[in-house]
Structure 1
Amino acid sequence: MTITRKAPTGILGFPVAPFDQQENINMKALEQNIAFLIDGGVSSIFVACGAGEFQSLNKSEYRTMVEAAVSAVGGKVPVYTGVGGNISDAVELAQTSAQLGADGYLILPPYLIHGEQEGLFNYSKTIIESTNLNAIVYHRANALFTLDTVKQLVEFPQVVGFKDGHGDMDFNIELTQTIGDRLEWTNGMPLAEVTMPAYLPLGFKTYSSAISNYIPHVSRRFFHALLENDQKTVKELYRDVILPINTIRKQRKGYAVSLIKAGMDVVGLPVGNTVRPPIIPVEKEHYKQLEVIIENTLTKYPKQG
């Protein structure tokens, strides 16, 4: 397989891990989730990552989800996976992703440890050198890189992107001005639509969209409005959709994942509201609030043909 050394751009799709009542993965629901995202216009599929409850999957489930994603996508868009945790598992999952035909992976933070920059570099390097797949570095939690470390990582041709989930804008300016277009810059903040207007002028032309799992046409409309400097539409979508959803998301830890499933359940996708600990399901009151927001959104901003 010939690898294109370019990260996906635009709106990235992150399907969930749909569990049935016995907490087994519902593969039909996963395939529908992926098809819905592609039909909604996402540029790529990132399977078994944060939204896909990477931390709770066993290796068999991980392999099954990646296989299903590659098959369901059928080459329409690139497929990326999540790899991370302890270094041995991370390397194994990267190699599994390569074997199953993924285009690349997102390097999730290492397990628990806050390492020095040398350790973070060696952690990333070990994963990157284990395959020929494209790699996107994820800057968040206990994997916060310095500019010098990122400059070392871009020496590897496999490294095609940098995803920021930390929100240090001074650092982002320093990164983008120093490294430039060598990497694709991705906004990975929770509910990235909230911060995207601040990221776009820095060169971040890509973001991961949680709401694309249930109202992708709204995320697409918002992104196009940003690109076209349509401030009226941006402000309306902030007021009517994005900020109200973000207010609910901030009510409980773990809602960055479980609120996606709740939204999908509201629009009729067969994902249910089941998550694995330590994440908790969306509480009834918050579910009802989200339901009202989505219903009002679909009325005011109907899907276009």
Structure 2
Amino acid sequence: MRLMAGFSAGPDSVVERLRDGMAGGVLSFPLTSFTADGDLDVVSYRAYLTAQLATGPGAVFPACGTGEFSALDEDEYRAVVTATVEIADGRMPVVAGTGYGWAQALRFARIAEEASADALLVLPHYLVEAPESGLVEQVRRIAAGTRLPLIAYQRGPVTFSPEGLRALAAVPGVIGLKDGHSDLDRLQRLTLAAPDGFLFFNGAATAEIQARAYAAVGVPAYSSAVHAFAPEIAGAFFTALRADDEATVGKLLRDFYVPLVELRDKVPGYAVSLVKAAARLRGLPVGPVRAPLTDPGPADLAVLERILDTGLALVGAVRGPVRSR
């Protein structure tokens, strides 16, 4: 195996566990449960996550974008990551989110270490524009201060060139890249520039829409926001995609995923708040989103309910009654 300086992979490493997980299931990005008043609800989170992980995702990424990382303080983050590690119980890798500037990112990284997470996903930094050398240095600073392996996330202000990717992969502890830009020409160049064994996965919003295109450039693994509220649908799509069942893939895309994306694109932040609303429609104990996100109003909620029922019908599942809390 050709490895660049700083990049390591072995049969018992997190890299191998993640690669195996990516091949066997979607990557789960769970929601974080809040009460109606906006307080963290760890009891409900544990109940929700237990059901989610019982469906066998390839890995679980708590306190990331779908989990409203930016809305959590350090104590809440600790509680979420600790609960996730306990519930996962070694069955799958736990990759916790971290972010902001490198100094604050290290505070979260050390909490994740103490909670026994397996790795970290470095979320895009806050607000500032920066040259690529600074983007690499940001990750290098985080990597130098934690024993946990890192996956970088390029989205928003973070974009790597092939040269930047080579520099990133040479940082000790950096094991992969999550892509949220969906620039497949650039992504193909990045995969060709990377060392053998470096991990890539599709992190586009509603990644299933572009899963076939990503697979065509050598990136078949993807995160699934749909898994956060309908693991039956996410699992059926994953199985059909891996089996080259184009009829099922096409039906799910046309009748469920595309309408969901069209609704998602109506309002900023719906990539998270629609997911949480759909979970509540299924009676899952996740509560509302935290500001600055907003929950959908009655009209959009009615559309979401129809889309959800259609998707569940396509895979032979049922929504079930909404449980009051």
Shorter chain as denominator, the TM-score bin is over 0.9
Between stretches 291-300 and 238-247, larger displacement belongs to 291-300
Could you tell me whether the CA contact under 8 Å between 1:121 and 1:153 is conserved in 2?
Answer: yes
- The answer to whether residue 60 in structure 2 is matched with residue 45 in structure 1 is yes
Residue 62 of structure 1 corresponds to: 77
Residue 35 of structure 1 corresponds to: 50
Residue 188 of structure 1 corresponds to: 203
Q: Distance in 1 between matches of 2:49 and 2:278?
A: 15
Residue 241 of structure 1 corresponds to: 256
Computed over aligned residues only, the root mean square deviation of the Cα atoms, in angstroms, reads 1.6
Whichever residue aligns with residue 311 of structure 2, its letter is T
Between stretches 7-16 and 77-86, larger displacement belongs to 7-16
Change over 3 Å in CA distance of 1:223–1:125 after alignment to 2: same
Residue 133 of structure 1 corresponds to: 148
Q: Distance in 2 between matches of 1:197 and 1:239?
A: 14
Residue 301 of structure 1 corresponds to: 315
Using the TM superposition, give the Cα deviation of residue 137 of structure 1 relative to its aligned residue in structure 2, in angstroms: 0.8
Q: Distance in 1 between matches of 2:145 and 2:183?
A: 30
What SS does the aligned partner of 1:276 have?
coil
Q: Distance in 1 between matches of 2:145 and 2:15?
A: 16
What SS does the aligned partner of 2:14 have?
coil
Could you tell me whether the CA contact under 8 Å between 2:34 and 2:289 is conserved in 1?
Answer: yes
2:116 to 80, 93, 101: 101
- The answer to whether residue 251 in structure 2 is matched with residue 213 in structure 1 is no
1:276 to 280, 285, 290: 290
- The answer to whether residue 20 in structure 2 is matched with residue 5 in structure 1 is no
Alignment of 1:156-167 (within 5 A): 156-167=171-182
Could you tell me whether the CA contact under 8 Å between 1:5 and 1:158 is conserved in 2?
Answer: no
Residue 288 of structure 1 corresponds to: 302
Could you tell me whether the CA contact under 8 Å between 2:101 and 2:138 is conserved in 1?
Answer: no
What SS does the aligned partner of 2:52 have?
helix
- The answer to whether residue 83 in structure 2 is matched with residue 73 in structure 1 is no
- TM-superposition CA deviations, 1:99-151 (whole Å, max 9, x none): 11000010011121111111111100011121221211101111112211110
Whichever residue aligns with residue 277 of structure 1, its letter is A
Could you tell me whether the CA contact under 8 Å between 1:3 and 1:103 is conserved in 2?
Answer: no
Identical-pair percentage:
33
Using the TM superposition, give the Cα deviation of residue 297 of structure 1 relative to its aligned residue in structure 2, in angstroms: 2.5
1:25 to 22, 29, 40: 40
Q: Distance in 2 between matches of 1:21 and 1:38?
A: 24
What SS does the aligned partner of 1:105 have?
strand
Could you tell me whether the CA contact under 8 Å between 2:255 and 2:311 is conserved in 1?
Answer: yes
- TM-superposition CA deviations, 1:164-222 (whole Å, max 9, x none): 00111110111112226431211000000111110012111211101101211211211
Using the TM superposition, give the Cα deviation of residue 157 of structure 1 relative to its aligned residue in structure 2, in angstroms: 4.4
TM value normalised by structure 2: 0.89
Change over 3 Å in CA distance of 1:77–1:56 after alignment to 2: same
Q: Which runs of 5+ in 1 are unaligned?
A: none
What SS does the aligned partner of 1:82 have?
strand
Using the TM superposition, give the Cα deviation of residue 90 of structure 1 relative to its aligned residue in structure 2, in angstroms: 0.3
Could you tell me whether the CA contact under 8 Å between 1:3 and 1:133 is conserved in 2?
Answer: no
Q: Distance in 2 between matches of 1:235 and 1:179?
A: 32
Between stretches 218-227 and 136-145, larger displacement belongs to 218-227
What SS does the aligned partner of 1:101 have?
coil
Using the TM superposition, give the Cα deviation of residue 160 of structure 1 relative to its aligned residue in structure 2, in angstroms: 1.7
Whichever residue aligns with residue 295 of structure 1, its letter is D
Q: Distance in 2 between matches of 1:96 and 1:261?
A: 26
What SS does the aligned partner of 2:220 have?
strand
Using the TM superposition, give the Cα deviation of residue 3 of structure 1 relative to its aligned residue in structure 2, in angstroms: 4.6
Between stretches 152-161 and 223-232, larger displacement belongs to 152-161
What SS does the aligned partner of 2:194 have?
helix
Whichever residue aligns with residue 286 of structure 1, its letter is D
Q: Distance in 2 between matches of 1:302 and 1:157?
A: 46
Using the TM superposition, give the Cα deviation of residue 36 of structure 1 relative to its aligned residue in structure 2, in angstroms: 2.2
- The answer to whether residue 99 in structure 2 is matched with residue 84 in structure 1 is yes
- The answer to whether residue 184 in structure 2 is matched with residue 169 in structure 1 is yes
Q: Distance in 2 between matches of 1:252 and 1:90?
A: 29
Q: How many residues align?
A: 302
Could you tell me whether the CA contact under 8 Å between 2:46 and 2:87 is conserved in 1?
Answer: yes
Residue 134 of structure 2 corresponds to: 119
- TM-superposition CA deviations, 1:235-268 (whole Å, max 9, x none): 1111221111111111110011111111111111
TM value normalised by structure 1: 0.94
Using the TM superposition, give the Cα deviation of residue 303 of structure 1 relative to its aligned residue in structure 2, in angstroms: 4.0
